[in-house]
Amino acid sequence: MDITQLFGLQGKVALITGGSRGIGAMFVEGFLAAGCERIYISARKGPQIAAAVDKFGDRVIGIPGDVSTVEGCKALAAEIAKREDKLDILINNAGAAWGAPFEEFPESGWDKVMDVNVKGPFFLTQALYPLLKAAGTADRPAKVVNVGSIDGLRLNPWDTWSYHASKSSILYLTKRMAARLIKDNIIVTAIAPGAFESDMNRAARDHGDEVAKGIPARRIGTPEDMAAAAIYLCSRAGDYVIGETLTVDGGLVHAALGTSIDA
C-alpha cells in the first residue's frame, strides 16, 4: 500500500466554509500539507478571509459568503462554478452559537444558529450537487463532511439551547444525506469535535489546562488532531466510511465514566 496515496489529497479541489479561523483553519492547514491542489474558503467577514489567504498562500482562495440563507448558499456555489467544473471536497464547517437562560432565550438566537448550523449545510450541498456529482466516481467518490459537535451527542452545562438542537440535527441529517448521495458517488460523513481552541470554544481557548482535567486524554485537541480526522475522511482512506460521525474529543463522549450515587 502507498500511504502517500492512501492519505493524500493530491489534485483535489476543496471548499471549506468558515475556513478563515478556528477549526476551519485547521482543516485548511492539513489539506495543504496533504497536497490539496486548491482550497476555497468562505466566511462572512472579508478581512478575516484576506488574512487567512495571506497566511496560507496562493493555493487558498477566499470568497465572502453567508451560508445562513438559501440565496447565500446559491451565490457561493455560483462563485465556485465560475472557477471550477467539479468539486472534490466540501467541508460544511461554518457555525454559530447562542447562549441565554431558558426563560429568556430569543427567537433570533434560535433562528440564527439553526440557519447556519443545519439549513446552511443542507442547502449549500444541494447548490453544489452538480459539481460534487461531476467529481465523484465509483473508484474515487466526492466527499462532504458536516462539522457537528460533541454537544450533538452529550449535554453540556450551558444554556446553548439551539446549539444543542442544531448539532444533534446535523449529525442525523448527515445519515440521511449519505443515504441519498452515495447513489451519485458522493460520500457524506460528519466530524464531532470536542475541546479545540477557537472563538466558539472560549473555554478551551482561555482555560485549556482546566478543561483538560475532565477529558480522558488529559489534554485539549490540537490542529493536527482535527486535520488528521478530515484528511482521513476525505482521502482514499475514508472511501468505505459512509454516513458515520467521527468523534474527535479525547474520549469525552465514549470513554468517560459516569457518576453514580451509592444507595
Q: What is the CATH number of the domain that holds 146?
A: 3.40.50.720
Give me the sheet containing 13-17, strands edge to edge. 60-64, 38-43, 13-17, 89-92, 142-147, 186-193, 245-248
- 254 occurs within a structural domain: no
One digit per residue, the tens of pLDDT, for the chain of length 263 reads 999 999 999 999 999 999 999 999 999 999 999 999 999 999 888 889 999 999 999 999 999 999 999 999 999 999 999 999 999 999 999 999 999 999 999 999 999 999 999 999 999 999 999 999 999 999 999 999 999 999 999 998 999 999 999 999 999 999 999 999 999 999 999 999 999 987 766 666 555 678 888 899 999 999 999 999 999 999 999 999 999 999 999 999 999 988 776 65
Q: Which residues pair with 245 in a beta bridge?
A: 190
pLDDT at residue 212 in the model:
87
- 253 occurs within a structural domain: no
Distances in Å between the Cα of 7 and the Cα atoms of 93, 232, 242 are 21, 6, 17
**d(Cα 142, Cα 153) in Å, to the nearest integer?**
26
- 45 occurs within a structural domain: yes
Asked if residues 225 and 165 have their Cβ atoms less than 8 Å apart, the reply is: no
Q: What's the distance, CA 46 to chain centroid? A: 20
Distances in Å between the Cα of 103 and the Cα atoms of 98, 108, 163 are 14, 14, 16
pLDDT at residue 202 in the model:
64
Q: In 3D, which of 13, 19, 7 has the Cα closest to residue 50?
A: 19
Catalytic residue among 163, 172, 232, 240: 163
- 260 occurs within a structural domain: no
| Residue 122, SS3 per DSSP | helix
Q: In 3D, which of 19, 161, 152, 174 has the Cα closest to residue 97?
A: 161
pLDDT at residue 19 in the model:
94
- 263 occurs within a structural domain: no
pLDDT at residue 158 in the model:
92
* Residue 19 lies in domain: 3-248
pLDDT at residue 174 in the model:
98
- 257 occurs within a structural domain: no
- 220 occurs within a structural domain: yes
pTM over 0.85, yes/no = yes
Total number of domains constituting the chain: 1
**d(Cα 221, Cα 249) in Å, to the nearest integer?**
7
Residue 163 falls in the annotated catalytic set: yes
List, as one string, the DSSP characters of 151-216.
GGTS--SS--HHHHHHHHHHHHHHHHHHHHHGGGTEEEEEEEE-SB-SSS-HHHHH-HHHHHTTST
pLDDT at residue 182 in the model:
98
